[in-house]
Chain A
Amino acid sequence: MIQFCLRRLATLCVTLIAASAVVFVVMEVLPGDPAVVMLGTEAQPETLAALRKQLGLDRPAPERYVTWLAGFVTGDLGLSQTYRVPVSELIADRLAITGPLALAAIVLSTAIALPLGLFAAARHRRLGDAGVMAFGQLGLAVPNFWFGLLLVLVFSISLGWLPAGGFPGWQGGIGPAMRALILPAVALALPQAAILARVARSAILDAMAEDYVRTARAKGLTRRAALWRHVLRNAMIPIVTIMGLQFSFLLAGAIIIENVFYLPGLGRLVFQAISQRDLIVVKDIVVLLAGTVVFINFVVDLLYAVLDPRLRSFRT
């Protein structure tokens, strides 16, 4: 098990370095002067030269790459061009919104999807099953930004229960900040939950048809006991896979949802940084997002090993 973890950890590091290298090459090495991109074609040559020096573009590429990587370790990522604050500070501030938002969304989505999937599987080919499948179909079809607008219309404008957007900040107390995150989290979570519920349903149905469930029943376990003790853990393997994949979609969805709800999160930051050509910020956030996705995959791999003993001794 320890060996398995170490091997996965090594894969994680290699993937991270590869991802950062790709980002670096695309942004800084390929033809196209970052300084010109940032300042525009009308910029004065002296200003361009000054920016190049500030960005360190006068130094060779490998040296810049290593300095940049070291920055992730020390936390010194330089100054943002547009915000004039350290990038690491900027990212930390925004992460304090996007992190809880993504976490709330995945928790909410799982909390909705797993019971629904279980419910549908237990009522296979009956009304409850059809209802969950219909909900799943709807969730696949509805884009989350539209669903977000709908939530605002109902819960903010008509009912006035929750704020329509913006973020009061954590320093104003946890209550108001949480309230501001409820609608965005729901908007992110529901479409995901719809997909996850369908996956959970079919994973549970597949596991229920396995021979070992018949063995469990022949032992005298009730249908329900066989479901809890023998079906669920086996069904969790495909469910965890999809949850891992969904996390990447969640990050992409956060960019859109944060714009819909005017949340100053990481997604909104990367959106603004791209439109303002703040390449330093873009580069760092892209690597951060890639790192998050790679890390989630690592966690999913570990979960596989926890769930299924056959994968613990797996040699790759």
Chain B
Amino acid sequence: MTLLAVEGLTISLPTPGGPLRVVRDASFALERRQTLGIVGESGSGKSMTALAIIGLLPAGATAAGRVMLDGEDLLMASEERLCALRGNRIAMIFQEPMTSLNPVHRVGDQVAEGLILHRGLDRAAALAEAARLLDRVGIAQAGARLRAYPHELSGGQRQRVMIALALACRPDLLIADEPTSALDVTVQAQIIELLRGLIDDFGMALLLISHDLAVVGEIADRVMVMYAGAVAEEGPTAALYAVRAHPYTQGLFGALPDRLARKGRRLAAIPGTVPLANELPPGCPFHGRCPKAAPICRETPPPWASHAADHRARCYFPGAAR
């Protein structure tokens, strides 16, 4: 059975002007041991999608559709049931390692907490396991580091602790929301390498959210491109990176700085900005910024166009870039 199947996920946030649909009709699937990368600009709905899966949307937000974990609809699950799954079968690591750990508790206790909660270990056994986990994520002298407070660790070490904390109960699904964005480039590479090794070891599925195409390309089996709350293109990483069927995907790649490009070449920015969820134009949400836009794009949202069996884009004029 598919580990995670998201079908028609629509998320609304409450605002004074009425509910705001920040994610619209997103569908995707993730198999065990697979990595799915979700890319897109800020405000494209990536993080909201992740929070909906783990059931931690902000207060007042509503999610419609289905989020099936091993056939169980998480959107219909009770809060009690979700608490039993969170940290146990689904875990999440966040962008900000600086603020995501509690400053007043020792890191060992923070890693051990989930083990005590879900595995019923006593504190000593949980701390022993926490030491093994810290060692596995590459923290030197893990046993001694159990007693450290978060402020005594560097950003990269804190993110390693966050990873250890998330992996404590050997989850089936790990959601990583921009896990490397707040880190130095050299540390970023180490963390990605660590995540890759851990996926193999633990046999879990990874949902990696990032705006960094290079990071996603390195680790993901499949990639989903989101734009203005909707999925624009989805496919196997290699095919998607090679074909770039959706004009938005092409724009994202075009905006990457190219080491081989001539000095002085201007970066090709996508003109305009992402439309706000309450100002979405009719038709394709990207048409205002799309070089290929035709009259039909302004009227009716495009249907899915398949490029290959498992590679599709929501565009009237999909096609290879260049």
Contact = CB atoms under 8 A, between A and B. Distances in A.
Contacts of B2: none
A218 B87 contact: yes
Contacts of B94: 211, 214-215, 218
A90 to B, nearest CB: 45
A307 B104 contact: yes
A122 to B, nearest CB: 12
Nearest to A124: B59
Interface string B71-90: 00000000110011111100
B241 to A, nearest CB: 30
B127 interface: no
A230 B114 contact: no
A219 B162 contact: no
A221 B86 CA distance: 8
A223 B94 CA distance: 19
Interface of A: 210-212, 214-223, 229-230, 233-234, 307-310
B165 A221 contact: no
B102 A310 contact: no
B103 interface: yes
A224 B83 CA distance: 11
B151 A309 contact: yes
B199 interface: no
B56 A310 contact: no
A220 B103 contact: no
A314 to B, nearest CB: 11
B91 interface: yes
Most chain B CB atoms below 10 A, which of A216, A221, A230: A216
A223 B56 CA distance: 11
B103 A234 contact: yes
Contacts of B105: 230
Nearest to B103: A310
B149 interface: yes
Contacts of A233: 104
Interface in B154-168: 162, 165-166
Given A219-B117, A220-B88, A214 B100 contact: yes
Given A211-B96, A309-B149, A310-B149, A218 B86 contact: yes
Interface in B98-139: 99-105, 110, 113-114, 117-118
A308 B105 CA distance: 9
B184 to A, nearest CB: 20
Given A214-B56, A233-B104, A219 B149 contact: no
23 contacts: A211-B99, A212-B100, A212-B103, A214-B94, A214-B100, A218-B56, A218-B87, A218-B91, A218-B92, A218-B94, A218-B166, A219-B86, A219-B117, A220-B84, A220-B85, A220-B118, A222-B80, A222-B83, A223-B79, A230-B105, A234-B102, A307-B104, A310-B149
B228 interface: no
Given A309-B104, A310-B149, A310-B151, A218 B54 contact: yes
Q: What 3 A-B pairs have minimum CB-CB distances, sorted nearest first?
A: A220-B87, A219-B87, A212-B102
Given A221-B83, A234-B102, A309-B151, 9 more contacts: A214-B56, A220-B83, A221-B113, A223-B79, A229-B113, A234-B103, A234-B104, A307-B104, A308-B104
A302 B91 CA distance: 37
A230 B102 contact: yes
B117 A212 contact: no
B83 A212 contact: no
B165 A309 contact: no
Nearest to A213: B102
Contacts of B101: 212, 215
Contacts of B85: 220
A9 B166 CA distance: 42
Contacts of A308: 103-104
A234 B100 CA distance: 14
Nearest to B55: A217
Contacts of B56: 214, 217-218
A206 to B, nearest CB: 13
Interface string B58-76: 0000000000000000000
Contacts of B166: 218
A219 B165 contact: yes
A217 B59 CA distance: 13
A216 B238 CA distance: 36
Nearest to B115: A219
Contacts of A218: 54, 56, 86-87, 91-92, 94, 166
